[in-house]
């Protein structure tokens, strides 16, 4: 039997000394300002938990207005694990929810 309910998934990003981190992806029509991450104390780590339905989801973080897979990883696709190239010559993170 195939599962059809959403499963909570925690997204995290290490981005010290930034003002805001958002999550954009196929699950929210790539809207860059809808899903904010929340800072965890003074560690520089940001988190958000979202319910995601089964399937393949692509996403990126928007850190202080700049799109990236991870802060400091803003280069063209180089075979990074869990990433795929996009039409802009950069990469998207990929999450498979079963």
18 in a domain, yes or no? yes
Which DSSP category does 91 fall into?
Answer: E
Residue 78 pLDDT > 70? no
CA-CA distance, 38 to 6, in Å (whole number)? 21
Instruction: Give which of 64, 55, 48 is closest to 26, Cα–Cα.
Output: 55
Which DSSP category does 76 fall into?
Answer: S
pTM of the model: 0.87
List the domain range (segments joined by +) for residue 72.
Answer: 7-97
1 vs 27, which has greater pLDDT?
A: 27
Q: List, in order, residues 6 or more apart from 67 with CB less than 8 Å away.
A: 24, 32, 60, 61, 90
1 in a domain, yes or no? no
CA-CA distance, 1 to 48, in Å (whole number)? 29
2 in a domain, yes or no? no
CATH number at residue 70: 2.60.40.10
Number of domains in the chain: 1
């Amino acid at each position: 039997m195939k599962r059809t309910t959403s499963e909570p998934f925690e997204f995290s990003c290490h981005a010290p000394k930034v003002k805001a981190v958002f999550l954009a992806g196929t699950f929210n029509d790539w809207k860059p300002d809808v899903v904010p991450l929340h800072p965890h104390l003074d560690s520089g780590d940001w988190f958000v938990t979202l319910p995601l339905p089964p399937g393949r989801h692509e996403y990126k973080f928007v850190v202080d207005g700049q799109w990236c897979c991870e802060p400091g990883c803003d280069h063209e696709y180089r075979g990074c694990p869990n990433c795929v190239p996009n039409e802009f010559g950069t990469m998207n993170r990929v999450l498979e929810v079963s």
